[in-house]
């Protein structure tokens, strides 16, 4: 009995994969780690597979497409395995429907994966607190339907192509291939390997009769006759792979149609399928030359990647890339920071401050409010909008009226900019309620699927589609996909040039909102605002001979001739929210070429910019206001419990240095901001206080008893439960973010906001 099990075809195939097909198994291992939430959880990668969103909703349709994708991936695994190793099992050539029989017997690994996926996605959906279990049943049926459909189509194709006329056609293909030296050498090598093969199989699973013994008398069949049966499936692999690539390219050309914007996880799985089949094809034809050939291909591609064709810039829409580029040099930067320029920009901002103060009674000093908001993808965008809506409600509309400036990074600025636009439209007479829950739904709608699909299809395969904006052509890359989807989600209300905000800001109707991406060339900030803010780049005392390196560059002045004022506003938002590998770094029209990335790298919380502005205009603030209140909106906890250190494994030791840098980046910025805030509070000539809002998962864990014996929240569990750093949120994550305003700390912060003295009578 043991021999029958051990030498059964399914078990022998499983052992064969473990012994020699490790590259194929790595694809499965990656997917297993993802669906078990052991890889990419902080970035929300597992949720793309466990909660696929299609047409802006999680439904059976998304799971149906997920089933199709996994079906294609599984069939890619079967076809690749069959081409690499099918000929070793000669008995396959004399049984009906050899490939289909092979797939059934090669099902241990796919079956194990499917069981893990069912367990993972059902557990995840149950934890998502659905109103009805029928929804989960619908998801299961949708996934099963997609899987069954793709298997039926592919198996039907293989059943059809096993007809006699196709064998004859495959035979003619084989004869043509034998005319060339390399395929002929591979076929002869396979014949020799078959004769020397020690693989032993006693029985196999027959799709019609169950377990059947393997026919042992194959001596009367010539080896090349047996191989001919396998050759026809090589042609099938080519046909199916061509169809799959053609389908993806078709979707890429017409991706602007919502119905063709498939879930991000589906795109990724289809790409993995293509890669797996390519690896199998190369391994079959190149054999021991596979590794040298791949290394050579990588080196050649690396060399060719310097070409202009492969280095077309990711552009900022609205800017002019055809005129002479701006001069990006130390000499020119120094000219832009001339004392007269600084004073001119400072005088313009003083007029803005005067207009802001004119909104209030002349005999009273208003409280000036600054809002700082942290980055953090869609999580931060939703949390910021949620807090701002509650601030306006609790203060009866006073907070935003008194707000002079909003600073921050990444998703937080996206959420704040959205609220500011709603507020402006309300002031201009539109009939809307900026506290409506529907705006939370809009800002939290999926923005990742089109980005990932564009990354995997257009940015890799199709880079010849362009987009017309303001009379100029720009490449349709994943940056375009981000902006286009953000426009769709928010009904296009922020689709305007940067200059459209110049007059509302000047009149004090809305707060100033500079966007400050980091310049990767030299580490400076790029201040993007409708009014020049050169005074934020260097101290006013530079003319006194102080040797000071400028800290920022004024966008409007440096790129004046490149039509800076017509920069698309959501392009500016994208420049400040550039998530590595997801949204591309933007290259600006300068010499040398300036490249920007996420503002969170330099100041993720916006505190530095707010305090710098207060420092520059401290005299005016002291004379004209009753002081300043900083309202800080963090998408992370300021203080967390210190975890007990455990003995790390070898792999953990290797990753610890980089992990420590990433984890402590937030802590380092927080500590630096604490030093700056306390220094300013003690030295400024006006009253300065702070009210903080935090998106925290500690309360969530405590309510569910997920703490240790002394009531301390585990930091790892806390990180798992919090919403992912992504441009797509699950239903559970949205609820977690929105309901977090009800935490004890945030309720206390709202109480403090209600207690602010917004107007104080002047004392003669």
What tens digit of pLDDT does each residue of 309-325 get? 666 778 999 999 999 99
Sequence length of the chain is 764
The residue among 736 and 193 whose pLDDT is bigger is 736
Most confident of 151-160, 566-575, 716-725: 566-575
Enter the tokens of residue 346: 């400072």
What is the DSSP track for 620-635?
HHHHHSS-EEEEEEES
The residue among 450 and 337 whose pLDDT is bigger is 337
Integer Cα distance of 304 and 310 in angstroms? 8
pLDDT tens-digit readout, 728-752: 888 888 888 998 999 888 999 999 9
* Three-class secondary structure of residue 61 per DSSP: helix
Res. 32: pLDDT tops 80? yes
Integer Cα distance of 381 and 414 in angstroms? 6
Q: Which residues contact 61 (CB under 8 A, 6 or more apart)?
A: 54, 55, 142
Res. 653: pLDDT tops 80? no
Average pLDDT, the chain: 82
- pLDDT computed for residue 318 by the predictor: 94
Res. 660: pLDDT tops 90? no
- pLDDT computed for residue 192 by the predictor: 54
C-alpha neighbours within 13 Å on the C-beta side of residue 645: 4
Most confident of 138-142, 226-230, 303-307, 653-657: 138-142
pLDDT, mean of residues 79-92: 78
Enter the tokens of residue 128: 């998502």
Integer Cα distance of 633 and 499 in angstroms? 27
* Three-class secondary structure of residue 617 per DSSP: coil
- pLDDT computed for residue 560 by the predictor: 94
C-alpha neighbours within 13 Å on the C-beta side of residue 141: 7
Res. 81: pLDDT tops 70? yes
What is the DSSP track for 697-718?
SHHHHHHTT-B-TTSPBPHHHH
- pLDDT computed for residue 568 by the predictor: 95
pLDDT, mean of residues 715-730: 66
Q: Which residues contact 277 (CB under 8 A, 6 or more apart)?
A: 76, 79, 80, 237, 240, 241, 244
User: Which residue in the block uniquely carries the two structure tokens 């910021």?
Assistant: 384
- pLDDT computed for residue 751 by the predictor: 95
Phi, psi of 469 (to 5 degrees): -140, 125
Contact 614, 583 (CB under 8 A): no
The residue among 671 and 216 whose pLDDT is bigger is 671
Q: Which residues contact 328 (CB under 8 A, 6 or more apart)?
A: 521, 558, 590, 591, 592, 593, 594
Q: Which residues contact 182 (CB under 8 A, 6 or more apart)?
A: 285
Lowest-pLDDT choice from 102-116, 124-138, 541-555: 541-555
Contact 449, 728 (CB under 8 A): yes
User: Which residue in the block uniquely carries the two structure tokens 């939290």?
Assistant: 444
Most confident of 13-22, 24-33, 259-268, 654-663: 24-33
- pLDDT computed for residue 358 by the predictor: 94
The dihedral formed by the CA atoms of 656, 658, 661 and 663, expressed in degrees to the nearest 10: -60
Enter the tokens of residue 628: 């300043």
- pLDDT computed for residue 541 by the predictor: 66
Res. 397: pLDDT tops 70? yes
CA pseudo-torsion sign 569, 570, 573, 579: negative
Contact 406, 371 (CB under 8 A): yes
Find out whether the peptide bond into 596 is cis, omega within 30 degrees of 0: no
Q: Do β-strands 525-527 and 403-408 pair in parallel, antiparallel, or remain unpaired?
A: unpaired
- pLDDT computed for residue 656 by the predictor: 60
Integer Cα distance of 518 and 600 in angstroms? 8
- pLDDT computed for residue 355 by the predictor: 96
pLDDT band at 726 (very low <50, low <70, confident <90, very high): confident
pLDDT tens-digit readout, 418-437: 999 999 999 999 999 999 99
pLDDT, mean of residues 33-40: 86
Q: Which residues pair with 629 in a beta bridge?
A: 369, 689
Contact 537, 554 (CB under 8 A): yes
Integer Cα distance of 561 and 638 in angstroms? 43
pLDDT, mean of residues 504-517: 95
Q: Report the predicted TM-score, pTM, of the whole model to 2 decimal places.
A: 0.84
Phi, psi of 559 (to 5 degrees): -110, 30
Integer Cα distance of 47 and 377 in angstroms? 15
- pLDDT computed for residue 644 by the predictor: 63
Res. 701: pLDDT tops 80? no
Lowest-pLDDT choice from 118-122, 270-274, 297-301, 455-459: 455-459
What is the DSSP track for 106-156?
T-HHHHHHHHHHHHHHHHHHHHTT-S-HHHHHHHHHHHHHHHHHHHHHHHH
pLDDT, mean of residues 183-210: 63
The residue among 556 and 230 whose pLDDT is bigger is 556
pLDDT, mean of residues 534-543: 78
Integer Cα distance of 637 and 702 in angstroms? 15
Q: Which of 410, 422, 415 is nearest to 443 (CA)?
A: 415
Rg of the chain over Cα atoms, rounded to whole angstroms, equals 31
Burial class (CB in 10 A: 0-12, 13-18, 19+), 458: buried
Helix intervals (H) in 428-559: 437-443, 449-456, 478-489, 502-506, 555-558
């Amino acid at each position: 009995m043991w021999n029958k099990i051990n030498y059964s075809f399914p078990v022998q195939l499983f052992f064969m994969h473990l012994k020699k097909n490790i590259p194929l198994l790595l694809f499965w291992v990656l997917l297993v780690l993802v669906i078990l939430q052991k890889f990419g959880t902080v970035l929300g990668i597992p949720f793309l597979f466990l909660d696929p969103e299609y047409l802006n909703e999680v439904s059976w349709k998304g799971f149906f497409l997920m089933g199709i994708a996994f079906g294609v991936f599984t069939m890619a695994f079967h076809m690749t395995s069959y081409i690499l190793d099918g000929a070793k099992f000669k008995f396959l050539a004399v049984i009906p429907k050899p490939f289909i029989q092979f797939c059934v017997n090669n099902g241990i690994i796919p079956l194990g994966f499917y069981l893990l996926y069912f367990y993972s996605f059902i557990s995840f959906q149950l934890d998502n607190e659905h109103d009805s279990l029928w929804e989960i049943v619908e998801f299961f049926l949708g996934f099963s339907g997609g899987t069954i459909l793709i298997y039926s189509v592919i198996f039907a194709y293989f059943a059809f192509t096993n007809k006699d006329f196709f064998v004859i056609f495959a035979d003619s293909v084989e004869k043509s291939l034998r005319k060339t030296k390399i395929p002929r050498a591979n076929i002869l090598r396979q014949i020799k390997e078959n004769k020397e093969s020690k693989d032993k199989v006693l029985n196999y699973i027959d799709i019609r009769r169950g377990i059947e013994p393997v026919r042992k008398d194959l001596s009367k069949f010539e080896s090349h006759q047996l191989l001919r049966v396998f050759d026809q499936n090589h042609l099938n692999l080519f046909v199916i792979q061509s169809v799959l690539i053609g389908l993806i390219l078709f979707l890429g050309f017409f991706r602007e149609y919502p119905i063709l914007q498939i879930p991000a996880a589906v795109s990724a799985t289809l790409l993995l399928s293509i890669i797996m089949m390519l690896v199998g094809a190369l391994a079959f034809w190149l054999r021991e030359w596979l590794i040298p050939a791949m290394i050579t291909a990588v080196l050649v591609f690396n060399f060719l990647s310097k070409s202009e064709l492969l280095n077309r810039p990711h552009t900022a829409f609205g800017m002019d890339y055809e005129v002479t580029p701006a001069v990006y040099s130390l000499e020119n930067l120094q000219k832009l920071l001339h004392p007269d320029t600084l004073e001119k920009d400072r005088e313009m901002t003083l007029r803005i401050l005067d207009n802001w103060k004119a909104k209030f009674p002349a005999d009273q000093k208003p409280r000036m409010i600054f809002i700082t908001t942290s980055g953090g993808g869609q999580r931060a965008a939703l949390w910021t909008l949620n807090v701002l809506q509650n601030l306006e409600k609790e203060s009866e509309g006073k907070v935003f009226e008194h707000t002079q400036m909003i600073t921050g990074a990444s998703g937080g600025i996206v959420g704040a900019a959205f609220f500011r636009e709603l507020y402006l439209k309300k002031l201009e007479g539109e009939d809307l309620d900026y506290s409506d829950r529907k705006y939370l739904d809009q800002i939290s709608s999926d923005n990742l699927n089109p980005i990932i699909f564009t990354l995997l299809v257009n940015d890799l395969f199709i880079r010849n589609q362009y987009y017309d904006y303001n009379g100029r052509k720009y490449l349709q890359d994943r940056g375009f996909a981000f902006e286009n989807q953000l426009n769709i989600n928010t009904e296009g209300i922020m689709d305007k040039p940067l200059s459209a905000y110049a007059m509302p800001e000047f009149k004090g109707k809305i707060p100033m909102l500079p966007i400050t991406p980091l310049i990767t060339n030299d580490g400076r900030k790029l201040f993007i605002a409708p009014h020049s803010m050169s005074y934020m780049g260097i101290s006013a005392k530079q003319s006194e001979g102080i040797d000071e390196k400028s800290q920022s560059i004024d966008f409007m002045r440096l790129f004046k001739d490149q039509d800076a004022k017509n920069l698309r506003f959501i392009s500016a938002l994208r420049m400040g929210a550039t998530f590595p590998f997801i949204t591309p770094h933007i290259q600006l029209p300068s010499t040398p070429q300036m490249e920007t990335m996420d503002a969170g790298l330099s100041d993720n919380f916006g505190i530095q910019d707010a305090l710098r502005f207060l420092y520059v205009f401290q005299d005016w603030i002291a004379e004209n206001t009753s002081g300043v209140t900083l309202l800080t909106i963090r998408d992370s906890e300021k203080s967390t419990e210190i975890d007990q250190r455990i003995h790390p494994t070898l792999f953990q030791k290797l990753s610890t240095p980089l992990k420590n840098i990433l984890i402590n980046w937030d802590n380092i910025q927080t500590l630096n901001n604490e030093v700056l805030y306390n220094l300013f509070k003690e030295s400024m000539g006006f009253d300065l206080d702070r009210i903080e809002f935090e998106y925290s998962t500690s309360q969530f864990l405590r309510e569910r008893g997920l703490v240790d014996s002394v009531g301390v929240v585990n930091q790892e569990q806390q990180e798992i439960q919090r919403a992912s750093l992504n441009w797509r949120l699950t239903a559970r994550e949205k609820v977690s973010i929105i309901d977090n305003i009800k935490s004890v700390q945030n309720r206390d912060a709202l109480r403090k906001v209600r207690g602010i003295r917004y107007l104080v009578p002047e004392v003669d």
